[in-house]
Amino acid sequence: MQTIKFDARVGEDGILKLEVPLDLADADLEVLVVVQRKEKRAWPEGYFERTAGSLADNPLERPPQGDYEERDILL
pLDDT tens digit string along 1-24? 888 888 888 999 999 998 888 888
Q: What are phi and psi of 48, to 5 degrees?
A: -70, -35
Domain ranges of the chain: 1-37
* Among candidate residues 42, 33, 35, the one with its CA nearest the CA of residue 9: 35
**Arithmetic mean of pLDDT, 16-43:** 88
- Give one DSSP letter per residue of 2-62, joined into a string: ----------TTS--------S--S----------PPPPP-PPTTHHHHHTTTT--SS---
With pLDDT > 70 as the criterion, what percentage of the chain qualifies? Answer: 99
